[in-house]
Structure 1
Amino acid sequence: MQNPPANTPKIDNIDDGDLPAGGDLVIETGASPSAPRPTPRVEALVATATAYANAASSENTRDAYAKDWRHFTAWCRREGFEPMPPSSQVIGLYIGACAAGDQKRNTPALSVATIERRLSGLAWNFTQRGTPMDRSDRHIATVLAGIRRKHAKPPRQKEAVLGEDIKAMVDTLGHDLRGLRDRAILLLGFAGGLRRSEIVGLDVARDDHLDGNHSDGRGWIEIFPGQGVLLTLRGKTGWRQVEVGRGASDQTCPLAAVERWIRFGRIARGPLFRRIFKDNKTIDVERLSDKHVARLVKQTALAAGVRSDLPEEERAGLFAGHSLRAGLASSAEIEERYVQKQLGHASAEMTRKYQRRRDRFRTNLTKASGL
């Protein structure tokens, strides 16, 4: 097999440090010091390939993977191991240490989900460095199986907020700028079955830069007066469109709420949902953080008394941004295929995982069996 030419682009082989800022990949020409400098055309091709490589995963994902790599390499340095090339034995010891924690260093034990995420981050990092990790090796797989068996806890899903819950939640909001914005967030997020990142990633109009790397947006809205809002969203597998129709009442209509926010917020271009300064009059030009959606859902659900049958300390951990998405799936009395399409799921099985309470006890096998 012939060796590639000296100026063939390749992924930068970073040792045990971080990926560059933001966890971005770096594609370099790989030329030796004595080789001629790449032509401007080759450098342009490298820049284009780098941009596409970074577009393969979100910035948040790359940041998380960069943190996973930092955690692993720091542990290797403390324990006297070399992080490269990947050693199944060392990785097995690492995940065992993560599960056990370290009392001397006051480091808590990590959850099974976090350890699995760390493994995914390591696998990605090793692959980018040209030395793939064998996750199925017994030194990794057997230790992970033991961790799951000993430490895994039953999944705790976020509570779904249903249609009546959303009505009560928006009633807790004021009618100032902040209230108008947050009301639009809740109603649009619920009716669209949106993720919190999709909500804050919306622009008020189509941005021609969305197809490139100059925008942090994830889609845009198109208003059809009197009918609804059409959302065009960019996801992991491509673009999809979500129709959010007009509601029965102006007080709880997503279309009306979005139109009011745009009019009074004077949003003409750029991000749809933005930060509002303390004077409650000045609107920032920057996009709102997706963490605001999680805080908003939690605060309004608690204020509205959703699941007031539970103790206050338990209720506080039940609600988050995903409560909106699960709420639509659980509330909509419509054929499952329409819910699946709205949520952008590839399978009906995934949609059913979001339907928290809709079908509970609807099919009664006890009575069907004659009892």
Structure 2
Amino acid sequence: MMIEDTGGDDELLAIVPSPAASAPGLPAHLQDLTDRARGYVEAASSTNTRRAYAADWKHFSAWCRRSNLAPLPPDPHIVGLYITACASGTAERGMNLNTVSTIERRLAAIGWNCAQRGTPLDRKNRAIATVLAGIRNKHAAPPRQKEALLPEDLIAMLETLDRGTLRGLRNRAMLLIGFAGGLRRSEITGLDLGRDETEDGRGWVEIFDKGMLVTLRGKTGWREVEIGRGSSDATCPVAAVEAWIKFAKLAKGPLFRRVTGRGKDVGPDRLNDQEVARLVKKTALAAGIRGDLPEIERGLKFAGHSLRAGLASSAEVDERYVQKQLGHASAEMTRRYQRRRDRFRVNLTKAAGL
């Protein structure tokens, strides 16, 4: 079976088996299996990953065309020149220098696309590895982490929402469940009301007397997140979700949906995960969080991960429980999310006698 590139320069790249590329006279039942294989290939990675890899492959292919070079079969020397151009700002019009993380992602995308075509790229070749090591040494910068939103910040953000509207109820539930569950933005918008209710769902919720159980499908398999009820209905994530479900009159399907009809109706469509980032940014600015900074800089401080980092930074419990809630494989990864919790808690200067 051949590999077909079904996406053009202006479409998402999809490297999937194609019935049209199969051998002549292929039995109908095998063609059906080919269609199923296409679906499994697409399910192997998230939509965001496929979109990013498609954009990076398009970027690399465009650079090759302008340089009169062929992107395939992959030549380590050409790829080495490409990442050099990215680092020096000559890979595209406008002279935009790419960050080290962007270059590493572009390189991963090139490797993935080449592998899908049966022509793997040797990333350990010194024409790539040595150049990349030099780029890291010269251009690497400390990671820019999003600001962690602590409980007092979240409460101030909730006060900016109108509790008397469907949109306000929905946004309130999204902020609270995102914070209390330590959820990623795609995990928030990927939730359904029940199990196996949609094809694009990433999990579902179950509500009990003591709290809510969120079952999620992640990169490494399924995991469960327990969200207990809050000390009051005003800050309880479970009560917020219950109110949204009740007044939105939801019975099944996506949990968080678009509000239409001038805010009076709830549509069937699932929210895009970018809406979570926009919501966090908008409410953080409206609440005056980090008012000591200029507004433009404040806007860059907050995103969907601010909720996740906020839980890790504020939950005064054993670290292993935070690690489990966030679904991290290592405690070290969890510590990266604990932005402010342990800062200066231990003073080694005084402990040393100074």
CA distance in 1, matches of 2:38, 2:272: 26
Measure how far apart 1:278 and its partner are.
5.6
How many pairs were matched up?
A: 353
Tell me, what secondary structure is at the counterpart of 1:310?
Answer: coil
Amino acid in structure 1 at the alignment position of 2:17: I
Q: Distance in 2 between matches of 1:280 and 1:234?
A: 31
Query: 1:19–1:25: 8 Å Cα contact kept in structure 2?
Result: no
Alignment-derived partner of residue 212 in structure 1? none
Q: For residue 308 of structure 1, what is the aligned residue in structure 2?
A: 291
Identity %: 63
Q: Any conservation in 2 of the 1:265–1:283 contact (CA below 8 Å)? A: yes
Residues 338-368 of structure 1: CA deviation (Å, up to 9, x unaligned): 1000000111111111000111111221122
Report the equivalent of 2:232.
249
Matches of 1:51 and 1:123 in 2, distance apart? Answer: 22
Distance in 2, matches of 1:278 and 1:294, equals 23
With over 3 angstroms needed to count, the CA separation of the structure-2 counterparts of 1:71 and 1:152, relative to structure 1, is same
The letter of the residue matching 1:217 is G
- Give the letter for the 1:136 counterpart: K
Alpha-carbon distance in 1 for matches of 2:251, 2:34: 36
TM-superposed deviation, 1:19: 8.7
- CA distance in 1: counterparts of 2:16 and 2:330, whole angstroms: 35
Please list every run of 5 or more consecutive structure 1 residues that lacks an aligned counterpart in the other structure.
1-8, 210-214
1:283 alignment partner, SS class: strand
Aligned to 2:74: 86
In the alignment, does 2:195 pair up with 1:206? yes
Are the aligned partners of 1:22 and 1:59 in contact in 2 as well (CA < 8 Å)? no
Whole-Å Cα distance in 1 between the matches of residues 153 and 207 of structure 2? 26
Could you tell me which of 85, 100, 119 is aligned with 1:131? Answer: 119
Q: CA RMSD in A?
A: 2.1
Deviation at 1:231, TM superposition (A): 0.6
Query: 2:3 — aligned with what?
Result: 11
Counterpart mapping for 1:359-370 below 5 A: 359-370=342-353
Please give the alpha-carbon distance, in whole angstroms, between the structure 1 residues aligned to 2:269 and 2:315: 34
- Residue aligned with 1:251, SS: helix
The one-letter amino acid of 2:177's match is: L
- Would you say the 8 A contact 2:15–2:117 is kept in 1? no
What runs of 5+ residues in structure 2 fail to find an aligned partner?
A: none
Deviations 1:90-147 (A, max 9, x none): 0011111112224993242222211111000000001001111111111112222222
Alpha-carbon contact 1:69-1:125 (below 8 Å) kept:
yes
Give secondary structure in 2 for the equivalent of 1:317. helix
Does 2:174 correspond to 1:185? yes
Residue identity matched to 1:194: L
8 Å CA contact 2:185, 2:304 repeated in 1: yes
Aligned partners of 2:258 and 2:270 also within 8 Å: yes
**Which residue of the partner structure matches residue 117 of structure 1?**
105
> Residue 31 of structure 1: CA displacement?
7.3
2:206 corresponds in structure 1 to 222
Displacement over 6 Å in runs of 4+: 29-32
| Separation of aligned partners in 1, 2:307 and 2:57 | 33
